């Protein structure tokens, strides 16, 4: 029993009648979220309270306690669900009294103590069921530190914290459970997930796959290139590497294996491509919205800054896939590739909601309103053609599915709120920053290396939003103390939080792919890291040269774009070690050094490095005909 409690719970396969009832309940909750965000101005505390209680009420019905939980809902889950609802009703009815009480001075009444403690317990159990013991263990460690940290020597010790003190900050203010992470999830994250759900339900996923097939299907390594493009298109909607692997990898991995690609390579391509989706505008997953709240930088500015790095990431993966396909002579796709006419005959309707979102962002509307535009535009666009039209029940299912998909994100962000509340209460965030600076002797490059490593470690086995939040509050202050600009440093942390999904030893995205590819997840993970090597180097590049984030003047931005693009190609060629013919060690070393110089913020060095890369690649291309003649001879 104890080992099973360390695992995540499983989604129940409920009986048809009960399943439909849960879907309707989840759909009703989704409608309330739409109403609360788009039609009324909700108090943040009230929104957080009702969202958490509603999510937990559904969560304990939909997700069992362990991976081997029965499909029938046991009595204790009915009790937990009812207790979640009761907490929501109590906090809502007592909202005025809670808002008017003086934190840390007014003593708790017995009912406040009971419902506050209950909500804390429910959050821990919801986190364990949705994300496993990793994040739950982190939260528990912070709770223990909050309660008993006064026993530690300086600088890590803090003043005595009684349970009532901890409960007051974590549950009865907007600094903890009802803080920024859950506020973001309860607003535009929920609505953007709803947009992706409706787009997929109407057939948008098939359209994106057909577009990818149309573009790359007939080239060498076509199936792998299809996986790269389709996973990127799907990933920007889902924002979850694991769900992206499951959704697109279930199609692309078997196709690659059938055409002779190794299971390891097929899984690695899908993992590397799916992981990058969380960094791909315009949606970028929920962490980008959280970044906007923490940094004070507008979401529109973040999306614009993230565009080039995301394209460079996928350019690097695509280039390595192509070079590997050329070297191994991998075959193109078998079967019929859809034509442009076939692809866009019905698929053109899915461009309308995408255009609606982009237009709303360009016009400066809030992310919440923009997401609402996307949802409405998707439903209306699907009604244009009979082939894409959704029935009333499909719309209800879309609403309910959105709520069910948000359960793990909500559980993770609720737990992250508890961690953040504890950090602010004890001042541990600034203490951690001091330790990082002491380890690095305040050297900028070494501080960045340590920050990247800490962020990846924090993200192992965790959802991207939780990993980024922990990094932002623990590591972010260290980067700020050294004077790194806010946008590059926060984007730096976001990238490594995302990349933790494919980094061994946990590599949750690789674990998901291993089940489809029937291959060792560690082998897939190490191969995926190699394919995603550009992604691991990119954050250092755009911190060094903010022009990659389009944060400088037009001339320097242009030079940075050209330099970064050339550097991406050079790194891909150097890592693969071939460009039709094998490269010497000296050539690979020169390409790597030139790649570093190409992203340098000093124009002369960047220009010389760009010319060097062009010369080395040109020399390779000129030698290809001679290599072909030798092989034919």
Read off the pLDDT of residues 200-234 as tens digits, 9 standing for 90 and up: 888 887 787 788 778 777 777 787 888 888 888 77
Phi and psi at residue 63, to the nearest 5°? -120, 125
Pick left, alpha or beta for residue 38 (phi over 0 → left; psi -120 to 50 → alpha; otherwise beta): alpha
Alpha carbon distances (Å) from 195 to 31, 138, 373, 385, 441:
13, 32, 9, 19, 46
pLDDT value at residue 629: 57
Pick left, alpha or beta for residue 284 (phi over 0 → left; psi -120 to 50 → alpha; otherwise beta): left
pLDDT at residue 627 is higher than 90? no
Q: What is the pLDDT of residues 375-421, one digit of tens each?
A: 899 899 989 988 888 889 999 999 999 999 888 888 888 888 888 88
Distance CA 2, CA 387 (A): 50
**Is the pLDDT higher at 466 or at 527?**
527
Alpha carbon distances (Å) from 180 to 99, 174, 225, 235, 413:
17, 8, 38, 24, 9
The pLDDT-based confidence of 300 (bands split at 50, 70, 90) is confident
**Nearest by Cα to 478 from 425, 441, 517, 530:** 441
DSSP code of residue 366 = -
pLDDT at residue 476 is higher than 70? yes
Average pLDDT for 23-36: 94
pLDDT value at residue 41: 66
pLDDT at residue 99 is higher than 80? no
The pLDDT-based confidence of 29 (bands split at 50, 70, 90) is very high
Q: What is the pLDDT of residues 422-473, one digit of tens each?
A: 877 777 777 788 889 988 998 999 999 999 999 998 887 777 887 898 898 8
Distance CA 424, CA 142 (A): 11
Average pLDDT for 48-61: 94
pTM: 0.82
Q: Number of C-alpha atoms within 13 angstroms, CB side, residue 276?
A: 34
Distance CA 31, CA 400 (A): 9
Average pLDDT for 242-247: 76
**Nearest by Cα to 464 from 434, 494, 431:** 494
Distance CA 101, CA 528 (A): 52
**Nearest by Cα to 178 from 522, 410, 500:** 410
pLDDT value at residue 335: 62
User: Which pair of tokens denotes residue 622?
Assistant: 């000129």
* Residues 410 and 182: beta-carbon distance below 8 Å: yes
Sign of CA dihedral 186, 188, 192, 194: positive
pLDDT at residue 285 is higher than 70? no
pLDDT value at residue 1: 42
pLDDT value at residue 2: 44
* Burial class of residue 75 (count of CB atoms within 10 Å of its CB; 0-12, 13-18, 19+): exposed
Number of C-beta neighbours around residue 37 at 10 A: 21
**Nearest by Cα to 227 from 272, 264, 196:** 272
DSSP 227-272: HHHHHHHHHHHH--HHHHHHHHHHHHHHHHHHTT--HHHHHHHHHH
Please name the residue that has the structure tokens 């223990």. Answer: 144
């Amino acid at each position: 029993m104890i080992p099973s409690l360390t695992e995540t719970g499983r989604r129940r396969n409920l009986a048809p009648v009960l399943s439909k009832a849960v879907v309707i309940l989840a759909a009703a909750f989704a409608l309330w979220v739409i109403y609360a965000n788009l039609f009324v101005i909700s108090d943040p505390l009230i929104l957080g309270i009702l969202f958490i209680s509603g999510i937990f009420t559904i969560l304990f019905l939909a997700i069992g306690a362990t991976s081997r939980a029965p499909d029938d809902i046991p009595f204790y889950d009915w009790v937990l669900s009812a207790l979640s609802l009761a907490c929501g009703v109590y906090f809502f009815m007592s909202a005025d009294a809670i808002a008017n009480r003086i934190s840390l001075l007014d003593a708790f009444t017995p009912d406040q103590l009971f419902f506050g403690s209950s909500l804390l317990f429910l959050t821990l159990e919801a986190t364990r069921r949705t994300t496993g013991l990793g994040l739950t263990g982190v939260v528990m460690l912070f709770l223990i530190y909050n309660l008993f940290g006064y026993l530690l020597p300086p600088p890590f010790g803090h003043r005595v914290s009684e349970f009532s003190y901890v409960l007051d900050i974590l549950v009865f203010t907007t600094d903890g459970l009802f803080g920024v992470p859950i506020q973001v999830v309860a607003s535009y994250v929920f609505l953007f997930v709803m947009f992706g759900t409706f787009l997929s339900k109407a057939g948008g996923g098939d359209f994106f796959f057909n577009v990818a097939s149309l573009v790359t299907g007939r080239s060498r390594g076509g199936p792998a290139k299809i996986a790269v493009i389709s996973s990127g298109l799907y990933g920007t909607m889902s924002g979850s590497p694991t769900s992206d692997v499951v959704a697109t990898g279930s199609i692309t991995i078997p196709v690659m294996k059938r055409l002779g690609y190794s299971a390891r390579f097929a899984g690695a391509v899908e993992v590397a491509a799916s992981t990058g989706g969380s960094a791909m505008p315009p949606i970028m997953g929920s962490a980008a919205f959280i970044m906007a709240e923490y940094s004070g930088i507008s979401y529109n500015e973040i999306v614009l800054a993230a565009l080039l790095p995301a394209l460079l990431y996928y350019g690097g993966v695509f280039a390595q896939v192509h070079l590997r396909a050329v070297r191994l002579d991998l075959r193109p796709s078998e079967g019929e590739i859809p034509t442009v006419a076939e692809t866009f005959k019905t698929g053109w309707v899915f461009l309308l909601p995408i255009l609606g979102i982009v237009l709303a962002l360009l016009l400066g509307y809030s992310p919440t309103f923009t997401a609402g535009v996307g949802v409405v535009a998707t439903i209306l666009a699907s009604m244009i053609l009979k082939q894409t039209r959704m029935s009333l029940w499909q719309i209800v299912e879309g609403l309910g599915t959105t709520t069910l998909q948000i359960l793990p994100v909500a559980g993770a962000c609720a737990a992250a709120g508890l961690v953040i509340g504890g950090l602010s209460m004890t001042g541990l965030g600034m203490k951690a920053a001091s330790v990082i600076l002491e380890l690095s002797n305040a050297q900028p490059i070494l501080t960045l290396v340590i920050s990247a490593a800490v962020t990846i470690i924090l993200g192992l086995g965790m959802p991207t939003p939780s990993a980024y939040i922990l990094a932002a509050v623990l590591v972010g202050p260290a980067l700020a103390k050294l004077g790194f600009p806010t946008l590059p440093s926060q984007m730096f942390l976001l990238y490594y939080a995302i990349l933790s999904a494919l980094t061994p030893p946990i590599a949750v995205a690789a674990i998901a792919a291993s089940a489809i590819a029937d291959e060792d997840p560690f082998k897939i993970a190490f191969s995926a890291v190699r394919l995603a090597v550009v992604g691991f180097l990119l954050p250092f590049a755009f911190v060094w040269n903010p022009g990659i984030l389009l944060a400088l003047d037009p001339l320097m931005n242009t030079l940075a774009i050209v330099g970064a693009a050339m550097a991406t190609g050079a790194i891909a060629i150097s890592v693969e070690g071939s460009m039709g013919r094998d490269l010497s060690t000296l050539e690979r070393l020169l390409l790597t050094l030139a790649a570093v110089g190409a992203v340098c913020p000093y124009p002369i060095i960047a220009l010389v490095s760009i010319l060097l890369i062009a010369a080395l690649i040109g020399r390779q291309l000129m030698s290809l005909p001679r290599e072909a003649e030798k092989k034919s001879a």
